[in-house]
Amino acid sequence: MNSLENELSKNIEGEVHSEKEFRNFYSVDASSYIIRPKIVVIPKNEDDIIKTIKIAKKSKTTVTVRGGGTGLVGSALNNGIILDMKNFDSIKIRKNIVVVGTGVIKGKLDMELEKMKKFFPPNPSIGSFCSIGGMVGNNSSGSRSLKYGSVIDNVLEISVIDGKGKKIILPKNEKYGKKIFEKIKIDYKNFPKVSKNSSGYRIDSIESEKDSHKIIIGSEGTLGIVTSVKLKIRNIPEKRILFVVEYNSLKNCINDSITLSKTNPSAIEFVDRPTLKQIDHDFQKNTKCLLFVEYDEKIIQNEKKLTSSISGKIIKKLTKKEDIHKWWKFRDSSLHYSLKSIKKEERIPHVIEDAAVPIEKLPELFEIIEKINKKFKTKSIVYGHIGNGNLHVRLVGDRKKTELIKTIAAKYFHEIIKNSGTITAEHGDGLARSEFIKMQYGKKNYQTFQEIKRLFDPDYILNPGKIISKKSTITKNFEIL
């Protein structure tokens, strides 16, 4: 047993592990990266977290919190102590609010809420497997975020332990809220003009001290360890209707997405031809892409609006819960389908997979993807939350050209930023994008980010290298190359 492990074991009630199997398990997530931690701590309570942070500081090591490990850009990987929050599993449902421990798995929360005919709207396609802490860490979202927003729009209160080992409840702690608010200086010119954004710190969401908790959302465990959150919940709509619309022209599909986004749908999602080929349905031979369009209110009026305004062909109109669920599963499996259709040696690590632009710039976004393919001799598989201008791009090509990946990413992000977009709308910055945050936000906003980091974590103990980053990490520590 080394001295760090000894010190942790002596002081905390939860589990401390340095066995090879544990370090290996926590060295990977759903990204293409691998980093082996020194030690894994499974805290039993908040006191354990406070002690772990203090011991880490004394031992000059770091603390990175992890939820379900479903992140796609290595945000929960690091080489110091990993904190697994699984014991923070309480769920307390009140009328329109739920107070949840951050180790709670989303699928469990969904099940408990459904019993009360309620739901928490942000719905990542990974569904059951991500944790509430990870969703807060990444400011996650999903198909229904088009109508209901991302995590940042659905949280009322956060309990967090900062890098000094101090517990803070935001926005309740007005003194701390004031300190945060005083630091916020925004250069709006360099802020993305998008409906969803998971890049950097969301200083733009803080209009007063009352919003101070929002600084934590999307901060990827770099400002504090969130132990519990108070979330807004809603009644499950009495009716939903899902249309699956077939297109043989991408241009028409883009135009329809823009038109439909003005009709208050709960979701507009896109899948391309390689993806739809994996769906168990007989599509027309020349079908290029599909839209999934869902409404959860004014069903009859919205159906009329949709049928009168689109140019695609409706191939499914679904109103039964089981049918809707079955077709959403097809859309939610897109990442899996995309992997199925690419040979292993042609999978380029997904570092540019999550950009978003203002919806009216969708034609430009598809053009940028085409430009990248032409320039770098790649192909792409594209699917995602088109109603938010957010497309997931999977590049296919010669996987061994590691040095090219950074060049492609820099080019892609440059174009995205030029079009008022964000380099990541829901998956976060992690190892893939933190070095591009300065390019995204400019010097002034980045300075504010640094000030915020210093306020919460002056010793840079918490998940170092993410968001505030001095080194290039995009192509370091790839697992598969």
Q: Which residues bind ligand FAD (CB under 6 A)?
A: 29-30, 64-72, 75-76, 85, 102, 124-126, 130-131, 133-138, 140-142, 220-221, 225-226, 335, 426-427, 463
CA distance 150 to 140: 6
Q: Give me the least distance between CB of 139 and ligand FAD, in Å please.
A: 8
Give min distance, CB of 187 to ligand FAD, in A: 25
Is the Cβ of residue 310 or residue 391 nearer to ligand FAD in the bound state? Answer: 391
Closest CB to ligand FAD among residues 226, 310: 226
Of 267 and 310, nearer to ligand FAD (C-beta) is 267
Q: Which is nearer to ligand FAD, 167 or 317 (CB)?
A: 167
Quick one: which of 353, 431, 426, 442 has its CA closest to 194? Answer: 426
As given in the structure block, the two tokens for residue 350 are: 């997904």
Residue with tokens 């999307």: 218
CB of 294 to ligand FAD, least distance (A): 15
> Could you give the CA distance from residue 379 to residue 274 in angstroms, rounded to a whole number?
11
Q: How far is the CB of 137 from ligand FAD (least distance, A)?
A: 2
Q: Residue 108, class by beta-carbon neighbours within 10 Å (0-12 exposed, 13-18 middle, 19+ buried)?
A: middle
CB of 460 to ligand FAD, least distance (A): 15
How many angstroms separate the Cα of 400 from the Cα of each of 339, 479, 481? 17, 12, 6
Name the minimum Å distance from CB 41 to ligand FAD: 13
Rounded Cα distance, 481 and 466, in Å = 22
**Closer residue to ligand FAD (CB): 52 or 255:** 52
Minimum Å gap between C-beta 164 and ligand FAD is: 16
Closest distance between ligand FAD and the C-beta of residue 318, in Å? Answer: 20
Residue 325 φ/ψ region, left for φ over 0, alpha for ψ in the -120 to 50 degree band, beta for the rest: alpha
Minimum CB separation of residue 30 from ligand FAD in Å reads 4
Structural tokens at position 359: 């919806």
Contact between 12 and 22 under an 8 Å Cβ cutoff? The reply is: no
3-class state of residue 26 by DSSP:
coil
DSSP 208-240: SGGGGGGGTTT-TTSSEEEEEEEEE-EEPPS--
Per-position DSSP letters for 122-190, written without gaps between them: ---TTGGGSBHHHHHHHT---TTHHHH--GGGSEEEEEEEETTS-EEEETT-HHHHHHHHHH----GGG
Distances (CA, A) of 146 to 175, 196, 262, 363: 34, 9, 11, 19
Query: Residue 294 or residue 376: which is nearer to ligand FAD going by CB?
Result: 294
Residue 72 gets which letter from DSSP? Answer: S
Q: In which element (H, E) is residue 315 found?
A: strand 313-318
Q: What is the dihedral of CA 18, 21, 22, 27, to 10 degrees?
A: 110
Backbone angles phi, psi at 165, to 5 degrees: 80, 25
Q: Which is nearer to ligand FAD, 71 or 121 (CB)?
A: 71
Least spacing, CB of residue 235 vs ligand FAD, in Å: 23
In terms of CB distance, is 69 or 177 closer to ligand FAD? 69
Measured from the CB of residue 204, what is the shortest distance to ligand FAD in angstroms? 19
Inter-residue contact 398 to 358 (CB < 8 Å): no
User: Number of H helices and number of E strands within the chain?
Assistant: 16, 17
